[in-house]
Amino acid sequence: MLKQLLHITTFLFTAVLLCSSCNSANNKTETQSSVTDSTDRKWWKEAVVYQIYPRSFKDSDGDGIGDLTGIISKLDYIKSLGVDVIWLNPIYSSPNDDNGYDVSDYRNIMKDFGTMQDFDALLKGLHERGIKLVMDFVLNHSSDEHEWFKQSRSSRASKYRDYYHWWNKEKGTPPARYSLFDVNHDAWKYDTLTNAYYLHYFSRKQPDLNWENPTLRREVFDIMKFWADKGIDGFRLDAFQFSAKDTTFPVFPSGYEKNFVQYYAMGPHLHDYLKEMNQQVFSKYNVMSVAEGAGNSFEDAHNLVDADRKELGMAYAFEGVDIAKPEGYSLPHFKEVFSRWDSAFAEKGWLAIFLANHDQARLVSRFGNDSAAFRDVSAKMLATFLLSMRGTPYYYYGDELGMTNAGFNKIEDYKDMPTLNEYQHQKNIGGDIKKFMAEIKFSCRDNGRTPMQWDSSTNAGFTRGKPWLQTNSNHAYLNVAMQEKNPNSCLNYFRKMVKLRKENPALVYGKYTLLDKDNPDVYAYTRELNNKKFLVLLNFKSKNSTLHTGIDLSKAKTLISNYTTVLASETLRPYEAAVIEL
Ligand code: GLC
């Protein structure tokens, strides 16, 4: 079970980006022609997405919780990064069992985050700067405090009864279903009020919506239209691959819970629901939409995103993200996974490229090296990777600085609901608590949710109050203010790398060719489009490493390097990264 929780990212966060186009600033890119005959240019393929966890970005009123006015105060910083799109985690009314992923009113703003006026001002401020906004839609479940659920549970005769999944007690015990977040991992919760169980794949406070009900679907599409009418530029569909269910609830084979995606994702009619959503919402609004979940296979992923099917636009594969383990990971495996996904989508479909988000621990702590000696250089190396691969790069707030894991030692310091529930579960079953604590220190998603490090003052300039989650003490030397002043900082490297990508369509659309495939230390590949060819060299190790490409580097031009002295040789220094024009 512990493993189940810690690898939750594999199940949940195989996301799919659904995009068509967008109705705000930068529309000129909509009409862009092809880079090559076979490449269909789209603005969202060329965009760099910056993800903001609103709770942790900037607090304006001193309550210790980030808010919309806080984000507004940092719009010029966001603009300075060169990114094109902001993805905001949920900001709707919520009792916050799961930090906003339990929505009690889809048409209002969470009190902690501000008001609808603040939202309108944020959207305006973004659009004035040519930045688009993608909102997070939680549609697999609502909060148990949503009016729909309150009505649904009040009576078996309620017209809202079928908005959720109920199993009447007189039918016996419902067939086992696994809950990812429940303290007992039981997805059925018995409710005395109507003598029935309701289904919740996540926490008890997140009952699953019944997508098989056309009335519910209409309500959801109306909500999406409400936001689209406000002028937002896109939707991320949270955990959507779990929405469709076989409501006969067949018995799953024993051991089913070990493969949540296989048994719970891509249920019957999921494609029909997506087609309906596309027809009802996306096609009408010219919006980019993002859904989480690429299914179980390349075939599933293609079925979700191939443009002619009119469902989603972009696949978000999590196989790569799940490679990092506390004991380290194998670079050949990492290369194999990213190369395999690239080749499966080389001709058709499109992928997101990312190594971190709000459900992961920090990028540099998992895939780089967060020791004092190598943090900066390895964070830059990872930026070089993410911003030179095919696919739309997603960058999570703070990763542009090389922010690291919080690595809390005491359970009291953690706030993440599933982590606290799992801790209780482990205690209940007499599990190995020491092992659990070591695992969460590396993997818990709170590691990636600590306050943004703006400066070296108390609480990193995030809040004048007490932050909802402890600030990482390394903000004393790892913060925006200090990195702004240093031309060689991680932050400034990130900006240069974003610029390099945007100036070179070959880094977006170009053919990817892996070199020196079995090299255990270096990741090297070329990106090629028309008459432009780039070589990307990445040393993933803390030692000098040599590679063999057979390419004569003597006349090559290094466009960017994470070392101040550029060598352009086949021996790379620790975590050295370079993009070289051939
Ligand atoms: C998604 C979100 C995650 C949330 C879960 C339940 O996977 O990314 O943060 O906890 O859905 O809504």
**Which string of DSSP letters, residue by residue, matches 361-418?**
--HHHHHS--STTTHHHHHHHHHHHHTTSSSEEEEETTTTTT-------SGGG---HH
Judge contact between 241 and 14, C-beta under 8 A: yes
Q: Closest Cα to atom 2, ligand 1: which residue?
A: 238
- Give me the pLDDT at residue 42, please: 85
| Gap from CA of 556 to ligand 1 centroid (Å) | 45
**Alpha-carbon separation of residue 62 from 383, 466, 475 (angstroms):** 33, 8, 19
Collapsed DSSP state (helix, strand, coil) of residue 500: helix
Most informative mutation of 87, 236, 359 for ligand 1 (most atoms within 8 A of CB):
359
As a whole number of angstroms, the distance between CA 173 and CA 177 comes to 11
User: Residue 223 is inside which H or E element, if any?
Assistant: helix 214-230
> Angle at CA 298, nearest 5°, toward 294 and 301?
35
Give the per-residue pLDDT at 24.
34
101, 141, 205, 443, best to mutate for ligand 1 pocket (most atoms within 8 Å of CB)? 101
Q: Tell how far the Cα of 278 is from the centroid of ligand 1, in angstroms.
A: 22
CA distance 379 to 376: 5
Which strand (E) or helix (H) includes residue 234? strand 234-238
Pocket test of ligand 1: the residue of 238, 358, 396 to mutate, having most ligand atoms within 8 Å of its CB, is: 238
Q: Beta-carbon neighbour count of residue 69 at 10 Å?
A: 18
Is 238 a catalytic site residue? yes
Ligand 1 atom with the smallest distance to the CA of 102 is 12
Predicted pLDDT of residue 91: 98
CA distance 469 to 413: 8
What is the 3-class SS of 301-368, one letter each residue? Answer: HHHHHCHHHCCCCEEECCCCHHHCCCCCCCHHHHHHHHHHHHHHCCCCCCEEECCCCCCCCCHHHHHC
d(C-alpha 415, C-alpha 435), whole Å: 19
Nearest in space to 423 (alpha carbons), one of 13, 7, 8, 5:
5
H-run or E-run covering 425 = helix 417-428
User: Residues near ligand 1 with C-beta < 6 Å?
Assistant: 12-13, 98, 101, 138, 202, 238-239, 292, 358-359
CB 54 within 8 A of CB 76: no
**Phi, psi (degrees; rounded to nearest 5) at 530:** 50, -125
**Nearest alpha carbon, ligand 1 atom 6:** 101
Q: Sort 92 into a burial class: Cβ within 10 Å, 0-12 / 13-18 / 19+.
A: buried
Angle at 159 between CA 156 and CA 163, to 5 degrees: 85
Q: Are 4 and 305 in contact (CB under 8 A)?
A: no
Q: Cα(191)–Cα(145) distance, rounded to whole angstroms?
A: 14
- Closest residue (by CA) to atom 7 of ligand 1? 12
Residue 99 CA, ligand 1 centroid: distance in Å: 9
Tokens 């070589």 correspond to what residue? 535
Which residue is it, tokens 């906003």?
100
- Ligand 1 mean position, distance from CA 9 (Å): 9
Mark out the alpha helices in 47-94 (DSSP H runs).
54-57, 68-73, 75-81
Where exactly does CATH 3.90.400.10 map onto the chain? 147-199
- Type and span of the H or E element at 571: strand 571-572
The pLDDT assigned to 13 comes to 36
Residue nearest to atom 4 of ligand 1 (CA): 101
The secondary structure of residue 279, as a DSSP letter, is: I
Closest CA to 524 of 356, 381, 320: 381
> Which CATH superfamily is 147-199 part of?
Oligo-1,6-glucosidase; Domain 2 (3.90.400.10)
Ligand 1 centre to CA of 218 (Å) is: 23
Atom number, ligand 1, closest to the C-alpha of residue 101:
12
pLDDT at 289: 78
Which is catalytic among the residues 67, 112, 118, 238?
A: 238
pLDDT of the residue at 1: 41
- Ligand 1 centre to CA of 87 (Å) is 14
* SS3 state of residue 256: helix
Place of tokens 């719970």: 264
Q: Is 308 part of the annotated catalytic residue set?
A: no
- pTM, full prediction: 0.94
| Closest Cα to atom 9 of ligand 1 | 359
Residue 267 to residues 1, 84, 247, 299, 300, Cα–Cα distance (Å): 23, 34, 10, 15, 11
Q: Are 426 and 436 in contact (CB under 8 A)?
A: yes
- Ligand 1 centroid–CA 374 distance in Å is 31
From the candidates 118, 257, 292, 516, give the one annotated as an active-site residue. Answer: 292
Q: Which of 12, 316, 421 to mutate to test the pocket of ligand 1 (most atoms within 8 A of CB)?
A: 12
Which atom, in ligand 1's list, is nearest to the CA of 202? 6
**Dist. CA 15 → ligand 1 center (Å):** 11
Of ligand 1's listed atoms, the one at least distance from the Cα of 140 is: 12
Q: What separation in Å is there between the alpha carbon of 366 and the centre of ligand 1?
A: 20
Nearest CA to ligand 1 atom 3: 359
CA distance 397 to 434: 30
β-strand 511-515 against 545-546: which pairing, if any? unpaired
Architecture (CATH level 2) of domain 511-581: Sandwich (2.60)
Q: How far is the CA of 291 from the centre of ligand 1 (A)?
A: 11
Residue ID of nearest Cα to ligand 1 atom 12: 101
pLDDT of the residue at 329: 97
Tokens encoding 405: 């894991």
**Nearest atom of ligand 1 to the alpha carbon of 418:** 10
Q: Which residue has the tokens 């688009």?
A: 132
Could you state, in chain order, the average pLDDT of each consecutive group of 10 residues for the chain (582 residues)?
A: 44 32 33 49 92 98 98 98 97 98 98 98 98 96 98 98 98 96 97 98 98 98 97 94 95 85 91 96 85 83 88 83 93 97 90 94 98 98 98 96 97 98 98 97 97 97 98 98 98 98 97 97 97 96 94 90 87 96 94
The rounded distance, in Å, linking the Cα atoms of 366 and 297 is 25
Structure token pair of residue 518: 């079995």
Report CA(13)–ligand 1 centroid distance (Å): 8
Say if CB 50 and CB 383 are below 8 A apart: no
Work out which ligand 1 atom sits closest to the CA atom of 138: 12
* The ligand 1 atom nearest the CA atom of 358: 9
Strand ranges across the sheet with 188-191:
166-168, 196-199, 188-191
> In 209-239, which positions are buried (b, 16+ CB within 10 angstroms) versus exposed (e)?
bbbbbeebbebbbebbeebbeeebbbbbbbb
Tell me the best of 7, 11, 51, 98 to mutate to test the pocket of ligand 1, counting ligand atoms within 8 Å of each CB and taking the most: 98
Q: Relative to the CA of 359, which ligand 1 atom is closest?
A: 9
Atom number in ligand 1 closest to CA 141 = 12
Q: Residues of CATH 2.60.40.1180 domain(s) within the chain?
A: 511-581
- Residues in the chain, overall count: 582
